[in-house]
Each structure stands twice: as structure tokens, then as C-alpha cells.
């Protein structure tokens, strides 16, 4: 330190000023460079980091298989009518393992007097009671599912699948209002003056709201398709014998995140 002091004393006033400025500059750079490097690196990381979008809600078959394995064409009408036993099918909603709320919509035409009931489902074993068997179309595996029982209850309870366009016109045993009699749902799709759509082809839109995801990647459901014994015999006599005639219904199942 003594030698440094002696060296400084020998400097002229201008040289001392230059030394002071150089020292201040050095200290400033020692602080500024690391700070700038940190901010620069953080900015690059933020720029390069991809914002993770919410996972899609996709419909799948049992065991998370492709929706192509969700097959509804093997319904024996005579068997359902005679035995009263519904056909049951397992499908799932792929949630991406995220906690969220969503709605399930089921839209179907009414050519055949079916009833539709929806239950939460969970995996089961072959020894459980009232199991629903899931087999993909290629027959590579067999899975078992059962209706879930809510906490505090002793038996499964169907989900509140509510018709959004319930029929109040009584124009048929099972169909819905003609387009020209109900502008709420069909006025924008048909010409009210001239169109007269087949009433059994007008779909029923049903929905269950505010379903909460489980802590798994898939939420599973059992769709129970039964026979509307009362309506099948009211003004539609050809269904009384429940023949396997070539009638067809179209069913759409969708899931969407709750917006409210």
C-alpha cells in the first residue's frame, strides 16, 4: 500500500483524475457486465420457451384406444325389447392429466326408440358384478369396467344428461318438433315457409355439465342404450315387434371445456 501511495503522489493532477476515472469505469463494468449477461440470458430463455397450451379434450374408446374402436353397430333390437337389458359401451375423454371442468354432449336422431343413459366408469375385474366388457375391434385384449359409485352413495347414479331441446309439441311419440314450429333450434337451418324435415331425423341435443376430471389421463364413461318401451308402442306400431329392420340412428358424442 505504501508503494501504491508513493506512486500516486508522483502523478500529476491530470494523471490522478485519469486513474480515478479508470477505476470507476472498471468497477462499473464489473457490476454491469454480469447484470447485462443475466438479463440477456433470461430474455433468450423467455423467448425460446414455448408456452404450453392446454391439452385437447378428445374422445377415445375404452383403455384409451382410438375412437375407431368405439363401435355401436352391434345392437340387437329384438333382444333389447324382449329382455329389457340395455347394451353398454365404454368410451373415454382424454384430459391430458389436467384438472379441469368440461361438458359432454350427446346428439342423436330418433328413428329408433332408444334411451340413452350415461355413467362415470372405472376399471374393474372379471369377478366384479355388473361389469361392462370392452374389446377393441381387432380383439387383441379384453378390459372390464364398472359404473362408478360416488362418495357417500352405495349404488351408481346416472349423470344428469338433460335434453336441451325437449319435445313439448306432442306431435309424435318420440321425435322432436318440426323445424318450422321451433325457431329456437332449427329456424336458421331450414326455410320455415317451405321445408318440412322428417321429424325423426331432427336430433335431440343432450348435455351433462360441469364434469370434473379425475387425476388420470382418461376419464371413462359407460353409455347405456336401452329401449323406450312406452314410446315405441305409441303411434308407431311397427316397433311393437321390435324387428331388426333397416332403420339407422346417428349419434354424436363431443366434449368441450366449460366456459363459465
Beta-strand relationship, 143-147 and 58-61: unpaired
Q: Which residues contact 124 (CB under 8 A, 6 or more apart)?
A: 131, 144, 145, 146
How far apart are alpha carbons 234 and 45 in whole angstroms? 68
- The C-alpha cell of 9 is what? 503522489
pLDDT in tens, 73-122: 888 877 887 788 899 999 999 887 778 889 999 988 877 888 899 999 99
Give the residues of the chain that fall short of pLDDT 70.
1-11, 15-16, 18-19, 22, 25, 27-30, 32-55, 166-201, 215, 230-246, 259-260
Predicted TM-score (pTM) of this structure: 0.69
Q: With 0-12 CB in 10 A as exposed, 13-18 as middle and 19+ as buried, what is 149?
A: middle
| pLDDT for the residue 174 | 44
| pLDDT for the residue 173 | 38
DSSP 32: H
| pLDDT for the residue 95 | 83
How far apart are alpha carbons 55 and 27 in whole angstroms? 50
Helix ranges, 70-138 (H): 77-83
| pLDDT for the residue 172 | 42
How far apart are alpha carbons 240 and 174 in whole angstroms? 14
Helix (H) or strand (E) holding 207: strand 204-212
Helix (H) or strand (E) holding 22: helix 13-48
Q: With 0-12 CB in 10 A as exposed, 13-18 as middle and 19+ as buried, what is 62?
A: buried
Nearest CA to 220 out of 95, 84, 42, 82 is that of 95
Q: Are 97 and 217 in contact (CB under 8 A)?
A: yes
Q: DSSP readout, 152-165?
A: T-SS------EESS
How far apart are alpha carbons 212 and 208 in whole angstroms? 11
Cβ neighbours of 145 (radius 10 Å): 24
Amino acid at each position: 500500500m505504501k508503494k501504491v501511495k508513493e506512486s500516486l503522489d508522483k502523478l500529476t493532477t491530470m494523471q490522478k483524475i485519469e486513474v480515478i476515472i479508470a477505476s470507476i469505469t472498471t468497477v462499473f463494468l464489473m457490476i454491469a457486465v454480469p447484470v447485462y449477461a443475466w438479463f440477456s440470458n433470461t430474455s433468450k430463455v423467455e423467448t425460446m420457451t414455448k408456452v404450453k397450451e392446454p391439452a385437447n379434450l378428445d374422445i377415445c374408446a375404452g383403455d384409451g384406444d382410438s375412437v375407431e374402436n368405439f363401435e355401436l353397430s352391434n345392437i340387437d333390437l329384438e333382444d333389447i325389447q324382449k329382455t329389457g337389458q340395455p347394451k353398454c359401451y365404454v368410451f373415454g375423454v382424454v384430459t391430458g392429466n389436467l384438472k379441469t371442468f368440461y361438458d359432454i354432449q350427446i346428439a342423436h336422431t330418433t328413428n329408433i326408440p332408444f334411451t340413452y343413459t350415461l355413467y362415470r366408469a372405472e376399471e374393474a375385474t372379471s369377478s366384479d358384478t355388473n361389469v361392462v366388457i370392452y374389446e377393441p375391434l381387432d380383439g387383441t385384449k379384453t378390459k372390464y369396467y364398472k359404473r362408478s359409485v360416488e362418495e357417500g352413495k352405495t349404488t351408481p347414479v346416472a349423470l344428469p344428461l338433460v335434453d336441451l331441446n325437449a319435445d313439448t309439441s306432442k306431435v309424435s311419440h318420440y321425435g322432436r318438433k318440426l323445424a318450422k314450429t321451433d325457431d329456437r333450434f332449427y329456424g336458421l337451418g331450414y326455410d320455415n315457409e317451405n321445408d318440412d324435415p322428417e321429424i325423426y331425423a331432427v336430433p335431440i341435443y343432450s348435455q351433462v355439465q360441469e364434469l370434473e376430471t379425475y387425476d388420470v389421463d382418461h376419464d371413462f364413461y359407460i353409455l347405456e342404450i336401452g329401449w323406450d318401451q312406452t314410446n315405441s308402442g305409441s303411434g308407431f306400431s311397427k316397433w311393437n315387434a321390435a324387428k331388426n329392420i333397416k332403420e339407422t340412428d346417428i349419434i354424436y358424442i363431443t366434449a368441450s371445456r366449460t366456459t363459465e
